[in-house]
Every structure is written in C-alpha cells, then in structure tokens.
Chain A
Amino acid sequence: MSRIAPAEGRSGQQTDGAGHAIQPVVDWEIVNRSIQVVLSAFAADVQARWPYIKPRLDQTLTHLLLFSYCAFEVPSAPRIDPVIAGIDFARSQSGRGIVIRADLSGEESGEVWLELPPREVAEVQDAICAAGEELARQLSTRAEEIHTALHKQDPVVCP
C-alpha cells in the first residue's frame, strides 16, 4: 500500500530552478471564504423559514481541490439524510481550466435533488471566485428544494 501525500491546500504551487517558492496561482482558502459568504446568507434564509433546519457550513480541501458546502440537517431527526448545497471545483480534462459544479444532494444517500449547469473558467483566482459565487447565488434561490428534500423523508418532523 502506498500513502497519498497530504493536500497542500493550494494548486499551482511550484518552485523555481533555485528552489524558491513561486506565488501560487489560486489560494483555495480565499475561494472558499467567498463561497461561504454566499452560502451563509442562504443558510440564514432557510433557517428563518424553517427554524428546525440547521445549517452546517464547511469545506473539504484535498489534492482534488475544493468542495465548499452547506449541509442542511434536522438535529431532532438524525436519521434524515442532510441535504448538501455544494460548490465543487475540479481540474478540467484539458488540465488548463477549472470546472465548477453546483448541486443539492443527499449527504449520505447521494441522491441528487438539483444540479446546475457546470461552468468552466481559467485557473485565475478572480474568475474562479466570481463563477463560484454566481453558482452559489443560483443555488441560494432554491430554498424550497431543500425543504422539499427533507419533508419527503419525514413530513411529521419537517412539516
């Protein structure tokens, strides 16, 4: 078995011929923060409408880049599969761009409730942030889908 190298948290990180670090192309922590601002507002909206739905804002940063998300869960019914509003960033097949995908899907079941058309942008910080925020804003208009996905699992606990 071979061990996988831990994530650097950044992409494009290289050294020059003298071993000096070259400024990274994308700082994924900054990208995540920009997405989380949009998802935080979405979470507040959902919670105001359905107070029993609790948001869990988080990120997963690995060698496969960033997955920034908000999980909507019902703590009083832990068997209900939380709905993830997720923005995923991955390298394009050509390796020269970043593909950004957004969906609403079950954290454990993997059931996809809503999927937005993906976007592909150049590996440039501002472009990645702008496209990711735009997809997060589009997801943020779909609060009803979050509620419906939870309601279908337990109409009593999630009226």
Chain B
Amino acid sequence: VYRRGNLTAKQFTPREDDTRAEPGAAPGISTDRTLEDGVKGQRIDLGQLPAGFGAFEDDPAEGGTEGHITIAPVDENGAIHQQRLEEWARSRDSGDEHELTRLLLEAVVEKNVRGPR
C-alpha cells in the first residue's frame, strides 16, 4: 500500500481526526492500494508491518472507500488499541518522534515513489 506524501515524521503520525472511525473505515493512518497519477508516496509492505500494528481495509458497502486501508496500533487480540492511537496522535505537534512513528517509517520498503502518469 502507499502512504501519500513525504517521508516525514509528521506525515507518519496520525492527526487527531484520524483517531475517529468513519463509516466503513477504521481509525488510523490512511493508505491506499494505488497512488494517483504523478503523486509522490511511500510504499509499505503490509506483510512486513511491525508487531503491534494492524491493517484494516475499508468496507465500501458500509460507506468506506475502495482500496483504502488504515494502519493502527492493535492490542494482543488484534483489535485497534484506541488509547495507544490517541496517545500517538497527541505526539504529532510535540516535536518528539513517537516510537510508533519510528516503527512505521522503518516499515517503508520503497520511498518517494510516483504514481503512474
């Protein structure tokens, strides 16, 4: 999947808005199966996500977006760890890089790729 935008700590840390689930979509960091034409993004191999993260695909039938996948911290049962997600989001403007940000940056397997023109 692709995280749109640049390989910066801020872009790999959720916003407060990202901690709330939308219809058909789980909360977390947004990624997509494809990149739009000419757009820059960072490729993440979901099979190589670090332990403690989970990936959740939208359900279009419930109002989600086709091909949209969110990445979020999970508990030992694989459910989204809401408290950890909120703690992570609060770090976004703190200037300190959260450990989940560091782990997700390291999960990028191809950087600065461009969507096909």
Contacts and interface: CB of A to CB of B under 8 A. Distances in A.
Contact of B39 (A3, A88, A109): A109
Interface in A1-43: 1-7
B49 A1 contact: yes
Interface string B49-77: 11101000000000000000000000000
Interface stretch (B3-11, B20-28, B79-87): B3-11
Interface residues of A, number: 29
Interface in A88-115: 88, 90, 101, 103, 105-112
Q: How large is the interface on B (under 10, 10 to 19, 20 to 34, 35 or more residues)?
A: 20 to 34
A62 interface: yes
A110 B106 contact: no
Contacts of B110: 64
Contact of A1 (B7, B50, B102, B106): B50
23 contacts: A4-B48, A4-B50, A6-B102, A7-B106, A58-B9, A60-B8, A62-B105, A62-B106, A62-B108, A63-B106, A64-B110, A67-B7, A69-B8, A84-B8, A86-B6, A88-B112, A105-B6, A105-B40, A108-B5, A110-B5, A110-B6, A110-B39, A112-B39
